[in-house]
Amino acid sequence: MRISAVAKFVGLVLAVACGAGRAAEPPIRIGEISSYSALPLGTRGYRQGWELARDEINGKGGVLGRKLEIIARDDAGKPDVAITAAGQLVDGEQVDLLTGTILSHVGLAVADFAKQKRTFFLASQPLTDALIWQKGNRYTFRLRPSTYTQASILAKEAAKFPARRWATIAPNYEFGQAAVASFKRELKRLKPDVEFVSEQWPPLGKIDAGAVVQAMMAESPDAIFNATFGADLAKFVREGSTRKAFANRAVVSILSGEPEYLAPLRDEAPPGWLVTGYPWSEIKTPAHDAFLQAYVARFKEPPNIGALIGYTNTLVLAKAIEMAGSTKTDDLIKAMEHLKVDTPVGPIAFRAIDHQSTMGVYVGRLAVRDGQGVMTDWRYVDGADYQPADAEVMAKLKN
């Protein structure tokens, strides 16, 4: 009886010790970087999105029995600030991995940092193709559909227009340059007789919309490809509408259907534009309904594209860590190269060859409804259908 009592006591002590050990498991520390001060409208939703996903995951016990802890830093829209923040997160905060960024040149800077530090990095929002091709590396993956994918989808639709003479307008930095190059290349491939008669390259955030519209109209284009966004887009739309630059002209515009950029236009949203975006209120699938209801219930506002990306990005990280069975960089890379994840927009996967996700794009037309710009006649295009062939990717990786 004494032996039995002692055994029970020892068993109880061990059980308590094991429980305490589990409770003492340190959190998985994720370093997150984004342009919170430079792009407050979009990144506010982005942060709320990842906060929602983090709390849902932690409420279910976390990943590998550990809670997710996300430590956020502001890059102010500047590559050098982002590099400093990344160094503080990796060396000072001892994070297990890095994620985030939105502006393309900032994303490229952090990707290079990840390469130098041999640290896993999931780029959530940068669109530049160089991130996964010419300047890609084994440590960097990208969630959002690439510039190549979005421009190719829009070019396929634009090829159906009777327009032959095209003008382009885009911010003069990595994303704008890549967007125009991809659109021009694909449209010329599909419709060889088109010509580009005007290219306008305003500095990011400093557009002189009157001068840009005047220069563009001087060439009498049949159609316009636009890649401006944010405050630049609003100025371009208002100046172009005042000067009737969009009358009797087809306009194809990347990103302009995203709530971050569409909502500020209100009833000035230009009807008929062909755009990529996010018609959050009209997507009727169980997965998106669950996300939408949870987001609105918590934040008392509808999600923007940033919120969708922030939420999905965190789901991807959690799934990758679960598949890897650890937070070690090499294990995460192997897991990501074969990862499949269910998301609010449907299942997505990551390509081993270039570390790009197959997340798709919503394409539709702009219209004004109840004094607010909306997307109509939209459809979801699977990103897997607009990825370059492996041979093309290999050629890009060598350049």
45/260 Cα distance (integer angstroms): 9
Tell me the CA end-to-end span of the chain in Å, nearest whole number: 78
Which parts of the chain are beta strand (E)? 28-34, 68-74, 97-100, 121-123, 140-142, 165-169, 195-200, 223-226, 250-257, 274-277, 340-343, 346-349, 361-369, 372-381
Q: What is the pLDDT of residue 377?
A: 96
How does pLDDT run along the chain (399 residues), one tens digit per residue?
Answer: 454 554 455 455 444 444 444 456 999 999 999 999 999 988 999 999 999 999 999 999 999 999 999 999 999 999 999 999 999 999 999 999 999 999 999 999 999 999 999 999 999 999 999 999 999 999 999 999 999 999 999 999 999 999 999 999 999 998 999 999 999 999 999 999 999 999 999 999 999 999 999 999 999 999 999 999 999 999 999 999 999 999 999 999 999 999 999 999 999 999 999 999 999 999 999 999 999 999 999 999 999 999 999 999 999 999 999 999 999 999 999 999 999 999 999 999 999 999 999 999 999 999 999 999 999 999 999 999 988 888 888 887 766
Domains and CATH numbers, the chain: 28-146+283-360 (3.40.50.2300), 148-282+362-390 (3.40.50.2300)
Residue 389, pLDDT score: 84
Say whether pTM exceeds 0.85.
Answer: yes
Cβ contact 35:77 at 8 Å: yes
3-state secondary structure of 387: coil
| Cβ neighbours of residue 122 closer than 8 Å, sequence gap 6 or more | 97, 98, 99, 140, 141, 142, 143, 313, 316, 317, 320, 336
CA 234 to chain CA centroid, Å, is 21
Q: List Cβ neighbours of 203 (8 Å cut-off, separation of 6 or more).
A: 171, 172
